[in-house]
Amino acid sequence: MTADYLTLTEKTLSELLPSEDTRERSLIESMKYSLEAGGKRVRPRLVFEFSALCGGDPESAACFACAVEMIHTYSLIHDDLPCMDDDDMRRGKPSNHRVFGEDIALLAGDALLTLAFETLSSDRAAKAAGDRACRLASKTLAAYAGATGMVGGQVIDLESEGKSAPLEVLREMDYKKTACLIKAACELGCLSAGAGEKELRAASLYGESIGIAFQIQDDILDCTATDEELGKPVGSDSENGKSTYVSLLGIEKCRELVDELTEKAIKALDVFENDASSLREFALELAQRRK
Ligand code: GRG
């Protein structure tokens, strides 16, 4: 599955990107630069894995997987901008605005966000997954990525800078900023395969649990990894005066929390009749990631 989903993700993304042979070439190059900058493709993998677990075929999941990755990529481009985190490096390379300028980077993010929903409403997606699945996927992705999901989480993050945020604020911020999009990927995988309510609820719980664990692991890595491992300067959270799980609870407690959440995610997979070992292993892999 790992190699297959990666190949299909790369192939579909390049098919969905507009041609560079236009007057707005710099915009398309900027979108492509970040889409192909070496991301781990965690979210597409979740879409493909849940789709397969629910009996879907890869083509019905492909547009959904790429739509989630487009949203993820736009969020990283915008997050690196000077008006947000002002980061010069991402995935070991200069961040988008350092290469293309702030104006084009901002627009590349906007265009990726738009392309995600164009993809979900495309004939290709409808032919592969069906109209109903596409409508539900758009609704789900919009809800998790928008004002009450990822973008909302980013606002809580910006407004807590320089303050010591209590744990409940941090919990809400991390749920929205990070876990919501991961949860969306899991749900979209099920939707692409026409799964039922019981499976959707289980995928949602799995996504929420590994999503929060993913953010706590990110906080741990910000204190324990090297710049080379992360592809960006470590320690940025404490430099920006941000409260994190590590600053509030300490590393040991954070590691325990990651393990508990990973167990919870694995338990949620019990409802599936098909073999869920690949998603079990993926949850464990993410809990131990070093980048
Ligand atoms: C809408 C501007 C805006 C931001 C939304 C997602 C986000 C909020 C900001 C991005 C920065 C950040 C640290 C987000 C937390 C989620 C996270 C750990 C993202 C990194 O995901 P990976 O590790 O990235 O999957 P790769 O590079 O592998 O794709």
Residues 44-103 have pLDDT tens digits of 999 999 999 999 999 999 999 999 999 999 999 999 999 999 999 999 999 999 999 999
Q: Residues 260-277: pLDDT tens digits?
A: 999 999 999 999 999 999
Residues in a beta bridge with 89: 94
Average pLDDT of 235-253? 83
Model pTM score: 0.95
Considering its fold, how many domains does the chain have in total? 1
Pocket of ligand 1 (CB under 6 A): 39-40, 42, 75-76, 78-79, 84, 91, 150-151, 153-154, 177-178, 218
Residue 1 pLDDT more than 70? Answer: no
Range of the domain at 257: 3-287
**In CATH, what number is assigned to the domain containing residue 273?**
1.10.600.10
Pocket test for ligand 1, best of 218, 236, 239, 290 (most atoms within 8 A of CB): 218
Q: Name the residue with the closest Cα to ligand 1, atom 15.
A: 178
Q: Name the residue with the closest Cα to ligand 1, atom 17.
A: 178
Angle at 135 between CA 115 and CA 185, to 5 degrees: 65
Using pLDDT thresholds of 50, 70 and 90, give the confidence band for residue 28.
very high
Give the Å distance between the CA of 76 and the centre of ligand 1.
5
